């Protein structure tokens, strides 16, 4: 039950963020202190933050309602968040100085990664 709740929360977060990124990519990126420049910047923001987030949300929803999709959803979250965590660590080593807001994102990503990995290990299909 915990895994389904986790996937539901992740789905909601990804879907809300994805819809916002599709509808208003400039405002979304500005809210994080990121300046989107040029037509390709807006186009990429829609695709990366909007499209990928919507796809992730749909996969997480599939994991909530279809037991055979739990593992793929958890693997996706593990790789997606793992990639973010890895890149954040590399950025810190390289000397980047993120704002407190971005450190909160990093904390969220680490927490999601840990919960996804633990869930993968603990998951036993019915």
CA distance 109 to 126: 28
Q: Where are the domains of the chain?
A: 2-122
pTM: 0.87
| Confidence (pLDDT) at 30 | 86
CA distance 90 to 96: 9
Closest CA to 9 of 64, 72, 66: 64
Cβ contacts of 71 within 8 Å, gap of 6 or more? 120, 123
CA distance 1 to 88: 31
| Confidence (pLDDT) at 98 | 83
CA distance 14 to 26: 18
Look at the chain and count its residues: 126
Q: Do residues 77 and 38 lie in contact, with contact meaning Cβ atoms separated by under 8 Å?
A: no
Would you give per-residue pLDDT tens digits along the chain (126 residues)? Answer: 999 999 999 999 999 999 999 999 999 888 888 888 887 989 999 998 999 999 999 999 999 999 999 999 999 999 999 999 999 999 999 998 888 878 888 899 999 999 999 999 999 987
């Amino acid at each position: 039950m915990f895994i389904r709740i986790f996937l539901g929360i992740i789905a909601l977060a990804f879907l809300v963020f994805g819809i916002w990124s599709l509808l208003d990519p400039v405002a979304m990126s500005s809210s994080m202190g990121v300046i989107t420049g040029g037509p390709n910047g807006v186009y990429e923001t829609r695709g990366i933050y909007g499209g990928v987030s919507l796809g992730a949300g749909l996969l997480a929803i599939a994991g909530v309602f279809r037991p055979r999709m739990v593992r793929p959803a958890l693997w996706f979250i593990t790789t997606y968040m793992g990639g973010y965590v890895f890149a954040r660590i590399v950025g810190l080593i390289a000397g980047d100085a993120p704002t407190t807001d971005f450190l909160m994102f990093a904390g969220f990503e680490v927490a999601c990664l840990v919960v996804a990995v633990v869930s993968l290990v603990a998951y036993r299909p019915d």
